[in-house]
Structure 1
């Protein structure tokens, strides 16, 4: 990919997405589950650009959404309503109401209190709401604690006994239709054993529900398949699918998978230009025009992203911190990164930036969010315009006292 030409045309900071790579990842995962009915429901939170969501919709994907805004994005991008799931711990009444009226596949409920709100709102609307219960299997996913979701210490889902109580309530309600079960133990998973253990626990629960005449149609395994940022050993989709399917023997149930990072992470690049270098004592800094408001993962998780320098200088390398202009000490993309000496306007490519990059961005320090471009079949096109200062103050300027 000609990053230098793209950066010169669309300026920096800039996100670049390889849609062909996303297609390959999607097809690889879909093929892994070929032996059983399945729905790939793209996790919109990983990269919510409308053109990206539409790309997956065109491939036949559904959408896993965690806000009503994401539900709207999915539907606007052409995802069929019967492939849209609405998850998340804190849905408000208006969101629940709109989800029911949109006739999506189901709402993933995460507490008894939420189930009660869904039932009440469905009754007010005179409709039946399809629901799934998110079960917390209390399995350690062996990932970063901030992206672990399957332990009792995490806010997500309910315990097995609580879930059974919720299913019985839903079964006996004329306004609820329990159609699915859901679990998701964490993100950036690189160990297959916890996934298998969680699936086994939840599959056994499905069998116990069938025994009391609660017949579920969908087995939602969440997402979380890890990718390689550095030297991680990752899980092959075939092995992942076989582990899940091995727990479902005797069950006639459709598998739903919610891939996000696996599809988009290594398909994305963040481009930023060097402003200048500076030296504080023995410490070398490379100051760039991108910042933590553009890509927060290094600041938030101390996450590693490989950084590639595009420069005419091919001399010796030395360690440097790559930092941005934001007024925070946590504003960095890398620490002690081996880089050649760099000059003004040299380009740095931050790899593996397609997931949880732009979507986690902000306007901190009144910084405009970057543009986004997509590359497909060698053709480059703009899929989000760069924000302007006028965009940033549009909701404020007419309200000055």
Structure 2
């Protein structure tokens, strides 16, 4: 019996498997691609499993810090042992209630997306007798990269438009409880080539330097985001960034000559690159059928277990890596949900699979369970199995329970 089949027999199907050795290998590789003076934030949105997050904080080399966008991610980071005082809380819709929870937990650094967001951060900090360090997120007027998911250069809920930010300086620096300490730029996600990634970082650094010179704002921390790519639910390897360290160092030397001494501290963020190739989704064939000449393999996992952020209109084409290597048929892989949209792969080459066989979908460690339509049709969430050195570290399952809620204290 194969290792996959044994895990499915012991823990059930569908089953996510996260390999912590691969998580640490990804951190090592990304660290090697960045200047050693750079801080690195782990974006828990990619995979908030505490064991996975903990692997990026522990071990050899500088630990990752936590980048958070919800109180749920805050709880996961705390469970994984992250220092809240080193965390960065981001997002365009931070409410007073969640800000208060973050401040009470010890978070002191926030990315501010607007004047209103900054005022809410300052008001909550003041109410708790502290001052919040705030990065101003910048929505640059233009971008550089031709590939990847653009996060800037257009009207957006994210950040201050770079062309109007200088006019807001007096207003922003006078908000009680909020201390401006730097800038936050995240213009690109999942760049598919190194040239685009390097070019976007160079553009971001030039933008940050120009804003520093025009506004006189203090710049203790400069977060230039990420954009590091990884394959999603298809076979393939993480890219290797051979030139990034040299090119990024040169751009920093040009615009921020004292950055190596921490003036400013430069930070990058990553989610998918750090955890994407650590995970596989194991699922089982429930039925095999032919309809009007086309073959369908019905699995026990669909877009409820691997949605690819389907709710955002970003359902990505998926391909499966079966548990055996012999290609004998062409079929579509579909899930168990009663919707025609529950398709994981269309017309892909597969072995001669039958009912009960195991299919393994690779590179599913990022944007898996928590980016899926988990509550649709109220099916149980997949089990999440964490392994290190081939040995099981933990096995758990997310639950969605309905609990009574009273009137808000506000």
TM-score (norm 2): 0.86
- Per the alignment, residue 96 of structure 2 pairs with 93
Relative distance call for 1:76 and 1:233 in structure 2 (3 A) is: closer
Relative distance call for 1:226 and 1:58 in structure 2 (3 A) is: same
1:196 Cα deviation after fit? 3.7
Unpaired segments ≥5 residues, structure 2? 405-410
1:352 Cα deviation after fit? 0.9
- Per the alignment, residue 391 of structure 2 pairs with 379
| CA deviations over 1:220-252 (Å, ceiling 9, x no partner) | 121221113558897533423333333211142
Count of equivalent residues? 387
Residue of 64, 72, 75 corresponding to 1:72: 75
Could you tell me whether the CA contact under 8 Å between 2:286 and 2:355 is conserved in 1?
yes
Residue of 263, 268, 273 corresponding to 2:274: 263
1:193 Cα deviation after fit? 4.1
- Per the alignment, residue 280 of structure 1 pairs with 291
- Partner secondary structure for residue 297 of structure 1: coil
1:70 Cα deviation after fit? 1.1
Could you tell me whether the CA contact under 8 Å between 2:143 and 2:203 is conserved in 1?
no
Relative distance call for 1:19 and 1:11 in structure 2 (3 A) is: same
Could you tell me whether the CA contact under 8 Å between 1:51 and 1:383 is conserved in 2?
no
RMSD across aligned C-alpha pairs, in angstroms?
A: 2.6
- Per the alignment, residue 230 of structure 2 pairs with 227
Could you tell me whether the CA contact under 8 Å between 2:205 and 2:224 is conserved in 1?
no
- Per the alignment, residue 296 of structure 1 pairs with 307
- Partner secondary structure for residue 204 of structure 1: helix
Does residue 1:320 correspond to 2:331, yes or no?
yes
Unpaired segments ≥5 residues, structure 1? 397-401
- Per the alignment, residue 363 of structure 1 pairs with 375
Does residue 1:15 correspond to 2:16, yes or no?
yes
- Per the alignment, residue 399 of structure 1 pairs with none
Superposed, 1:1-400 pairs within 5 Å as 2-36=3-37, 38-59=38-59, 60-137=63-140, 138-139=142-143, 141-143=145-147, 147-208=149-210, 210-211=212-213, 213-229=216-232, 235-249=239-253, 250-252=257-259, 253-297=264-308, 300-311=313-324, 314=326, 317-361=328-372, 362-385=374-397, 392=400, 394-395=402-403
Relative distance call for 1:373 and 1:350 in structure 2 (3 A) is: same
Which segment drifts farther, 234-243 or 286-295? 234-243
1:364 Cα deviation after fit? 0.8
- Partner secondary structure for residue 25 of structure 1: helix
| CA deviations over 1:345-385 (Å, ceiling 9, x no partner) | 10100111110001113121110101101110121233423
Could you tell me whether the CA contact under 8 Å between 1:142 and 1:191 is conserved in 2?
no
Could you tell me whether the CA contact under 8 Å between 2:91 and 2:111 is conserved in 1?
yes
Relative distance call for 1:238 and 1:182 in structure 2 (3 A) is: farther
Structure-1 separation of matches of 2:116 and 2:196: 29
Could you tell me whether the CA contact under 8 Å between 1:298 and 1:334 is conserved in 2?
no
1:260 Cα deviation after fit? 0.7
1:392 Cα deviation after fit? 4.7
TM-score (norm 1): 0.88
Relative distance call for 1:140 and 1:327 in structure 2 (3 A) is: farther
Could you tell me whether the CA contact under 8 Å between 2:110 and 2:135 is conserved in 1?
yes
Relative distance call for 1:228 and 1:293 in structure 2 (3 A) is: closer
